Chains A and B, each alone.
Chain A
Amino acid sequence: MKYLERGYLEKDELPPFPSRERLMKKSVAYIECPQPIPCSPCYESCPADAVKMENINDPPEVDYEKCTGCMKCIRVCPGLAIFMLRIREDGKGEVTLQYEFLPWLKKGDRVKLLNRKGEEIGEGVVNWVLPPERNDNTSLVRVEVDENLIFDVRAIRPVGDINEG
């Protein structure tokens, strides 16, 4: 439980990666929720039976082969712990994450990419959003990033945001 001393997961604590093959097919839910907590919306919302959880306190486990990429789980996860990942045919990576800050992001916006520690690791472009009003004020934002960054990008900030920490 080292991650509780830091507030982020190190590489060796991450859930198994979906194969590159799987990532190329369509987007897949990647869940970073390792601690047993009484929470289960991801499990309950999944229509494909892809999230394994025997008891409400179990950490969720995704069966990447069953996951259809439907995004039902990422819409409802209160822990903001689910990321949709994909590698496109042109070799670009895509990460979709939950976003609850102003200003709301739009397609085409440039964003800074942050890793699990809040360090800037590059810039990306928003290429799709589910607007906040369609998901109880939690927007979903998909950013286009380098393929090798999809397991690192975990937060975004609009370029030029004065609120930089």
Chain B
Amino acid sequence: MVRIENGRLQEHPIIDFERKKEVTIYFNGKPIKAFEGETVAAALYAAGVRVFSRSFRWHRPRGFFCAIGKCSACMMEVDGVPNVRTCKVYVRDGMQIRTQSGFPSAEKDAFSILDDVIDLVFPHGSHYKKFTSTKAVRNFMLKRMRKFTGFGNPPKVVYGGNAEYERIDTDVLVIGGGPGGMSAAINAGKYGAKVLLVDENPFLGGQLVKQTHRFFGSAKHRAGTRGIKIAKILEDELSKLENVDVRKETRVFGIYNGEAGAVQGGEKLLRIKAKKIVVATGAYERTLIFENNDLPGVYGAGGVQTLMNVYGIKPGDMGLIVGSGNVGLILTYQLMQAGVNVAAIVEAMPRIGGYFVHAAKVRRLGVPIYVRHTILKAIGKNSVEAAIIAQLDDKWQPIPGTEKKVDCDFICVAVGLSPTHELLYQAGCQMKFVPELGGMVPLRTKYNETTVSGLYVAGDVAGIEEATAAIMEGRIAGIHAAVMLGYGGDEAKEELDEAVKDLEEFRAGPFGEKIICGLEKCVLESEVTI
């Protein structure tokens, strides 16, 4: 058994949680204990808060989902600023947090009754037609409606900081500090290119920071090393390169003809002129359609990993995992390591999607794996209390009579990821829908350069794969960028060929087949010479 205090794990077989200074934050006026370094959402979760917001129209309860700033289910008012994603801001002593939808609060929302009746009294689109007689009425009602829907109040405070502006010139800009981006920065940097690496998080590592298990691959690719350690190893390598500048808490919002706009620390605007840009922005989690899939307690698998492995917060007592890919299987094992029970894993396909060895290690601890099964609905009023699962027939339809109720207090959706590709669209890259790679991905050369000259991709944003492949892609993109800028000479060119070969070999097995099949659809044929 793992010791828990205040919703937080006090011990863990793999991770040492170093909690920093204790602080007090106020949630709807009520003091809550938190630790520096925790996000607001994590601290609230540890304190037992499950309802983070209400949906606009029906006032249905919403909890967090992704925990990495991609879904907006966790928006609240923080220190007077509305619509803040609380999973991306860190606690500060005295911070005032308010839910912005629901009356009197999101948790106990008198308007939740609307879930049943709103279509009768206020049909879709009626806000365009009703209350428009005079300007005064319209303005008055607009304010009421805004409050009602929970879009947040206009800020009550005037921004008091010092907005700064900085121009930066660099050879290579790398966007995203996950394994793909770090590897690109290291490999461009080691041949002498001037590199700037930015990441919106206050830490590097991307998704690696929650991977407590040992990685697969060969020793050359750091197999047998835990993901969390791989992140540290890469960061150490980066810090040894003097020509690589790293800026954390820096988010790129646009790429304009070789220049990127970014905001650092929420205050400083950066205009970054780069000869080459590597986009390594990773991926976000998909969700699944089933009844009540918006109920608090239905979480993304990665969201639960973040909560548990980064912040050391216990997600619940009994989980149900939907999806048996490696993420679902690994998460199951990690939950058990944190002392959380897993009721079952359900998988719609006729067989387990991830590695057999990952499945075997939870199966032998007694976790049932139901293939050809799906979740039909989540049950619960303000948060998950149970789920109904059922068997599927050959046409993917639930077989009547096979429904089973599974008691659980949270559900993890582990049904795959989609590339975080917005910047690529915006920059004008040619995109293509390739299901094998997880969705819309950019066309690219075998050196990972997109149709926008000098713009590269690496890692999950180029196609959902895994960390080892992300590192290998980063290596290719980084070296190619350096070579094209005249760095590294023959040695770099040789390494580039080797890097391409390494990746081909890595993908040669059955698990690489799908990727190769996807790549055939989006790798540009035109042979690039270097």
Binding site for B on A (CB under 8 A): 1, 3-9, 32-41, 44-45, 55-57, 76-81, 100-104, 114-119, 132, 136-138, 154-155, 157, 161-165
Interface residues of B in 107-127 (CB under 8 A from A): none
Q: Specify the chain B residue showing the minimal Cβ separation from A99.
A: B13
Given contacts A119-B366, A132-B13, 8 further A-B contacts (CB under 8 A): A35-B355, A38-B508, A38-B512, A39-B216, A80-B361, A101-B336, A103-B1, A165-B367
Q: Mark B214-225, 1 if CB is under 8 A from A, else 0.
A: 111111000110
Residues on the A chain within 8 Å of B350, using CB: 5
* Given A5-B350, A5-B351, A33-B357: A102 touches B216 (CB 8 Å cut-off): no
B352 beta carbon closer than 8 Å to chain A: yes
Q: Are B510 and A80 closer than 8 Å at their CB atoms?
A: no
Q: Nearest-CB distance from A62 to chain B (Å)?
A: 15
Alpha-carbon gap, A8 to B362, bound state (A): 10
Q: Are B213 and A137 closer than 8 Å at their CB atoms?
A: no
Q: Are B363 and A118 closer than 8 Å at their CB atoms?
A: yes
B358 beta carbon closer than 8 Å to chain A: yes
Q: Are A81 and B357 closer than 8 Å at their CB atoms?
A: yes
Q: Are B355 and A118 closer than 8 Å at their CB atoms?
A: no
Contact of B216 among A45, A78, A100, A163 (CB under 8 A): A78
Instruction: List 19 A–B pairs whose Cβ atoms lie within 8 Å, in order of A's numbering.
Output: A4-B356, A5-B371, A32-B357, A33-B357, A34-B356, A38-B506, A38-B508, A38-B512, A40-B217, A40-B219, A45-B224, A57-B508, A57-B510, A76-B214, A78-B224, A114-B364, A119-B366, A162-B1, A163-B336
Q: Nearest-CB distance from B451 to chain A (Å)?
A: 30
**Count, A-B residue pairs, CB within 8 A:** 157
Alpha-carbon gap, A9 to B361, bound state (A): 12
Q: Specify the chain B residue showing the minimal Cβ separation from A39.
A: B216
Interface size on B, residues (CB 8 A): 48
Alpha-carbon gap, A57 to B12, bound state (A): 32
Interface residues of B in 491-527 (CB under 8 A from A): 505-512
Residues on the B chain within 8 Å of A136, using CB: 214, 226
Alpha-carbon gap, A57 to B504, bound state (A): 12
Q: Specify the chain A residue showing the minimal Cβ separation from B355.
A: A37
Q: Mark B11-41, 1 if CB is under 8 A from A, else 0.
A: 1111000000000000000000000000000
Q: Nearest-CB distance from A69 to chain B (Å)?
A: 20
Q: Are B363 and A79 closer than 8 Å at their CB atoms?
A: no
Residues on the B chain within 8 Å of A138, using CB: 214
Residues on the B chain within 8 Å of A56, using CB: 217-218, 505-506, 508-509
Q: Are B364 and A118 closer than 8 Å at their CB atoms?
A: yes
Contact of B341 among A101, A157, A165 (CB under 8 A): A165
B528 beta carbon closer than 8 Å to chain A: no
Contact of A57 among B339, B361, B509 (CB under 8 A): B509
Residues on the A chain within 8 Å of B371, using CB: 5
Residues on the A chain within 8 Å of B367, using CB: 118, 165
* Given A38-B509, A117-B364: A101 touches B355 (CB 8 Å cut-off): no
Q: Are B364 and A38 closer than 8 Å at their CB atoms?
A: no
B359 beta carbon closer than 8 Å to chain A: yes
Q: Are A7 and B362 closer than 8 Å at their CB atoms?
A: yes
Q: Are B355 and A44 closer than 8 Å at their CB atoms?
A: no
B76 beta carbon closer than 8 Å to chain A: no
B399 beta carbon closer than 8 Å to chain A: no
Alpha-carbon gap, A149 to B223, bound state (A): 31
Residues on the A chain within 8 Å of B342, using CB: 165
Q: Are B363 and A6 closer than 8 Å at their CB atoms?
A: yes
Q: Nearest-CB distance from A61 to chain B (Å)?
A: 15
Q: Specify the chain B residue showing the minimal Cβ separation from A35.
A: B356
Alpha-carbon gap, A80 to B337, bound state (A): 14
Alpha-carbon gap, A5 to B349, bound state (A): 9
Q: Are B360 and A37 closer than 8 Å at their CB atoms?
A: no
Q: Are B216 and A9 closer than 8 Å at their CB atoms?
A: no
Contact of A3 among B214, B215, B356 (CB under 8 A): B356
Contact of A78 among B13, B214, B366, B506 (CB under 8 A): B214
Q: Are B357 and A79 closer than 8 Å at their CB atoms?
A: yes
Contact of B511 among A38, A77, A118, A137 (CB under 8 A): A38
Q: Specify the chain B residue showing the minimal Cβ separation from A164.
A: B366
Q: Are B360 and A8 closer than 8 Å at their CB atoms?
A: yes
Residues on the A chain within 8 Å of B505, using CB: 56
Alpha-carbon gap, A102 to B14, bound state (A): 10
* Given A5-B352, A165-B341: A38 touches B217 (CB 8 Å cut-off): yes
Alpha-carbon gap, A108 to B261, bound state (A): 62
Q: Specify the chain A residue showing the minimal Cβ separation from B223.
A: A41
Q: Are B2 and A102 closer than 8 Å at their CB atoms?
A: yes
Alpha-carbon gap, A56 to B349, bound state (A): 27
> B216, B506, B510 — which one has the most chain A CB atoms within 10 A of its CB?
B216
7 nearest A-B pairs in the assembled complex, by CB-CB distance: A57-B509, A118-B366, A79-B357, A165-B366, A78-B214, A7-B363, A7-B359
* Given A33-B357, A114-B364, A118-B364: A79 touches B216 (CB 8 Å cut-off): yes
B365 beta carbon closer than 8 Å to chain A: yes
Residues on the A chain within 8 Å of B216, using CB: 37-39, 78-79
Q: Specify the chain A residue showing the minimal Cβ separation from B361.
A: A80
B455 beta carbon closer than 8 Å to chain A: no
Q: Specify the chain B residue showing the minimal Cβ separation from A9.
A: B360
Alpha-carbon gap, A157 to B365, bound state (A): 8
Q: Nearest-CB distance from B352 to chain A (Å)?
A: 5
B369 beta carbon closer than 8 Å to chain A: yes
Q: Nearest-CB distance from B18 to chain A (Å)?
A: 16
> A3, A35, A136 — which one has the most chain B CB atoms within 10 A of its CB?
A35
Q: Specify the chain A residue showing the minimal Cβ separation from B508.
A: A57
Contact of A7 among B214, B337, B360 (CB under 8 A): B360
* Given A55-B508, A114-B364: A39 touches B337 (CB 8 Å cut-off): no
